[in-house]
Amino acid sequence: MDITLIQKNIAAVAAGWSSESAARLERRALDKADFATLRDAGLTLTGVPEEMGGVWQSGVRSTRPTAAIFRTLARVDPSVALVATMHPTVLALWLEEPAEPPADSNAWREQHDRVLAAAKAGHWFGTISSEPGGGGDLMATRATAEKGSDGAWRLTGDKQMGSGSGVTSFMMTVAVPKGEMTPDIFLLDTRELPWDGSRGATLVRAWDGHGMAATQSHAFRYDGVAVERHAQMGGAIKLVPRVLPIIAYMFSSVIMGILDAALAEGRRRLQPRAERMSAFERVSWTKAVNDIWLAEQAFQGMARAIESGAASPGVPRGKLAIAELAEASMLSISRAIGGASYSRSSPFGQWSQDVRALGLLRPPWALAHHQLFEASFAD
């Protein structure tokens, strides 16, 4: 199976789901059957390298075609699309070449092969690395991990935004190993892990967001929950800056999918009365179309920056621009359509909340602006 075939398979899945799109936007929980369907369509292979039977070649070569899949999904179900993007982006920490030689190359190779084999077998990977009050900065984690006499690591701390909780088999997280100063990457096996605290994981708050409402981005308290440390032993956290552009582009692909759907639905509703639209409605619609066009240019610019292979603030800048343009364009479309856009039977209110929620993700607004402020003096 190659990436082109997976794109065709997912397009067929999305077409089959299109008649349910209104009902899907009203959901407040994920359906495991959806992820079984996506697995059977080959989507979990986006987190598996070609040499192991998957479709991932490298961040430079695979980010654009993989993101196109999530853009297609987002047109009919943004929540499912967002959760699915976590899979290849988390696995990039095993797919990308180490920043420096691992201390134990045998341990690294064993873990690398085992983790990616799990993805090939159809297991979903996600992330629960954000923390209350952390502002989205992974390096500011207050969670800790300690290695026991049995050689196993156990993590303690509060985590939130666990998108895909209950659907994923594994969750990537971050904690500071005892006796060290720098956070590192850990992997949490969530299969058969209860949420009642009996094995160290307690559900603190079920996800109740206005946007991305069905992502099950729950919050948990971990008290000595069993985790596995990334086998690069400190090297994986150094890969994060290399992986962040991939994450930003994948998340942006979900925004672009929503904008595709909003533009198509707006045209469907407004074209029959285009000649009777007021000046205000015409200006609002034109502004929305222009903003979506600009978002597309930013999206393509992000892809070119990633494909250039050079470190550049172009990717986070593009993601921030897309988030702002998406929010503005959704407001303009609503103004053009009028009060009907705020009906619960209309998708525009949910789409508006969805793009707003995506603007807050990886990195959130404050951290994104801080990073771009610093980069602005280095251009």
pLDDT (tens digit, 9 = 90+) per residue, 134-177? Answer: 877 888 999 999 999 999 999 999 999 999 999 999 999 999 99
Q: What does the pLDDT read at residue 360?
A: 76
Answer yes or no: do 218 and 253 share one domain. no
How far apart, in Å, do the first and last CA atoms of the chain sit?
42
Would you state the pLDDT for residue 311?
63
Instruction: For 272-284, write each residue's pLDDT tens digit.
Output: 999 999 999 999 9
pLDDT at 341 over 90: no
What are the structure tokens assigned to 91, written together?
Answer: 């696995």
264 and 362 co-located in one domain: yes
Could you tell me if 66 and 184 lie in one domain? no
- Cα–Cα nearest to 235, from 347, 135, 103: 103
Domain boundary residue, one of 234, 249, 273: 234
Q: Do 114 and 196 fall within a single domain?
A: no
Mean pLDDT score, 188-213: 97
pLDDT digits (tens, 9 = 90+) for 204-255: 999 999 999 999 999 999 999 999 999 999 999 999 988 999 999 999 999 9
Domain identity same for 160 and 71:
no
Tell whether 131 and 165 lie within a shared domain.
yes
- pLDDT for 270 equals 97
CATH number of the domain encompassing residue 222 = 2.40.110.10
Total domains in the chain come to: 3
Within this chain, do residues 108 and 192 fall inside the same structural domain, yes or no?
no
Task: Identify which of 56, 59, 61, 75 has the alpha carbon closest to the alpha carbon of residue 10.
Answer: 75
Last residue of a domain, one of 120, 147, 178: 120
The domain of 129 spans 125-234
**In angstroms, rounded to a whole number, what is the distance separating the alpha carbons of residues 165 and 71?**
22
Per DSSP, 258 falls in state H
Report yes or no: 329 and 291 within 8 Å, Cβ to Cβ.
yes
Give CA–CA dist 19/206, Å, rounded.
28
Q: How far is CA 216 from the centre of its chain?
A: 13
Q: Are residues 166 and 266 in the same domain?
A: no
Distance separating alpha carbons of residues 228 and 230, to the nearest angstrom: 6
For residue 8, the domain's CATH number is 1.10.540.10
Regarding whether 138 and 109 lie in a shared domain, the answer is no
pLDDT at 59 over 90: yes
Across 1-16, b (16+ Cβ under 10 Å) vs e yields eebeebbebbeebbee
187 shares a domain with 111 = no
Tokens 């979900």 appear where?
254
Give residue 93's pLDDT band: very low, low, confident or very high (50, 70, 90).
very high
Q: For residues 107 and 98, is the Cβ–Cβ distance under 8 A?
A: no
* Mean pLDDT of the chain, nearest integer: 94
Provide the pLDDT confidence category of residue 306 given band limits of 50, 70 and 90.
very high
For the record, the structure tokens of 268 come out as 């469907």
By the 8 A CB rule, do 296 and 53 touch?
A: no
On whether both 242 and 152 belong to a single domain, the answer is no
pLDDT tens digits, one per residue of 105-144: 999 999 999 999 999 999 999 999 999 988 778 889 999 9
Res. 362 pLDDT band, cuts 50 70 90: low
**If we measure between CA atoms, which residue out of 122, 1, 8, 2 comes closest to residue 68?**
8
Provide the pLDDT for residue 219. Answer: 97
Provide Rg for the chain, Cα atoms: 21
Q: Given pLDDT bands bounded at 50, 70 and 90, which one contains residue 344? A: confident
Measured at the CA of 47, the angle between CA 44 and CA 52, to 5 degrees, comes to 95
Which tens digit of pLDDT belongs to each residue from 10-28? Answer: 999 999 999 999 999 999 9
**pLDDT recorded at residue 182:** 96
Indicate if 72 and 153 belong to the same structural domain.
no
**Structural domain ending residue among the three candidates 63, 96, 120:** 120
Distance separating alpha carbons of residues 266 and 70, to the nearest angstrom: 21
**Residue 349 is part of a domain; what is its CATH number?**
1.20.140.10
Over residues 38-67, the mean pLDDT reads 97
Residues of the chain with pLDDT > 70, as a percent, come to 99
List, in order, residues 6 or more apart from 239 with CB less than 8 Å away. Answer: 92, 93, 96, 98, 99, 232
